Amino acid sequence: MSEGGGDAGAKAAAVEEDGGTPSTAGSAEDGATVIDAEAKAERDSWLPRWLVAHPLYAGWAWTLLWAGLIVLDEVVDLAGWTWYLLVLMAAMPTLISTLVVLHATPRSHLRAVDATVLGHFFVRFLALVAAFMVWAASVVMSASISTTVQSVIGDSEKEVTALGFNLMLAAVPLVLSVLWMAFIVRCAWFLRRLRGWRQVPVKTRVPKKFLRGRPRLKRVVVGLAHPGLLLVAGLGTSLLALFVDAVELTLNVIG
């Protein structure tokens, strides 16, 4: 009895001594947290509710819209540079979201701790096969271009050099398109490991501090940073640009 009373008295004395400061400070802290959370919520209130609920569907709708404009551009035959602008716009939302998510994620979050030795070597094997195929294609193309130039121009060294430089300039869009596609595939590969294929992943490897306190904006950004959407919006439209626009430019220069 006396022991319990002594403890209660000691606690009461401690509270009186501090003047109730701990409880007041805790209340102030909680109030500040609530106010801060409300302020951040208001900052993201401009995001439409349907976009927050279905970010991936919004991304697909955006991509289809610009894909339709790309087809219309091909039919109407507008200026050549508009094609690249439309391709960039089609991939813009998912690309920006992907870059933001990947920039905020340390590489340590993507360590392949569950990868097998066989899987590791198989991926390296596929990379070597792809590199060999690219090298072989470049050799064949170089020989073909050299033969074509010699047959069209003849033995004029000056004209052969000028046409060679023109072909190099014409090849720049092709090279950039291939590098762009490799970049898109690599980003999609990391996104798959980082957040999976779901529209709103339940469990991700995205750092917890990423957009902390702003769940609406985080949901939209992570939803748009989807590997499938990135592949379709970035890789699909790039393939169209490669096989329609860039090839036409090369044929025009040769002709």
- pLDDT tens sequence across 162-181: 777 777 777 777 777 778 88
When pLDDT is averaged across residues 239-248 and rounded to a whole number, the result is 59
Using N-to-C axis directions, what is the helix angle for 55-76 and 215-224, rounded to 10°?
50
d(CA 229, CA 57): 10
Is the predicted pLDDT of residue 18 greater than 80, yes or no?
Answer: no
Question: Over the stretch 199-224, which tens digit does the pLDDT of each residue have?
Answer: 888 888 888 888 888 888 999 999 99
The pLDDT value recorded for residue 228 is 93
Span of 2-16, 117-131, 225-239 with lowest mean pLDDT: 2-16
Higher pLDDT, 22 or 130: 130
Residue 14's identity, in one-letter code, is A
Of the chain, the percentage scoring pLDDT greater than 70 comes to 70
What's the half-sphere exposure (Cβ side, CA atoms, 13 Å) at 37?
8
pLDDT category at 111 given cuts 50, 70, 90 is low
Angle at 45 between CA 43 and CA 49, to 5 degrees: 150
Q: Using an 8 Å Cβ cutoff, are 206 and 104 in contact? A: yes
Higher pLDDT, 39 or 115: 115
The pLDDT value recorded for residue 244 is 58
Using N-to-C axis directions, what is the helix angle for 81-104 and 157-195, rounded to 10°?
40
Whether the predicted model's global pTM rises above the 0.85 cut:
no
Span of 55-64, 111-120, 208-217, 239-248 with lowest mean pLDDT: 239-248
Is the predicted pLDDT of residue 41 greater than 70, yes or no?
Answer: no
Residue ranges in 196-243 assigned as alpha helix (H): 215-224, 227-230, 237-240
Query: Containing H/E element for 123?
Result: helix 117-153
What does pLDDT average to over the chain? 74
When pLDDT is averaged across residues 216-234 and rounded to a whole number, the result is 92
d(CA 145, CA 151): 10
The pLDDT value recorded for residue 37 is 52
When pLDDT is averaged across residues 109-113 and rounded to a whole number, the result is 63
Angle at 251 between CA 249 and CA 254, to 5 degrees: 110
The pLDDT value recorded for residue 10 is 42
Question: Which of 173-198 are b and which e, b meaning 16 or more Cβ less than 10 Å from the residue's Cβ?
Answer: bbeebeebbeebeebbebbeebbeee
Question: DSSP labels for 61-99?
Answer: HHHHHHHHHHHHHHHHT--THHHHHHHHHHHHHHHHHHH
pLDDT category at 193 given cuts 50, 70, 90 is confident
The pLDDT value recorded for residue 8 is 45
Is the predicted pLDDT of residue 62 greater than 90, yes or no?
Answer: yes
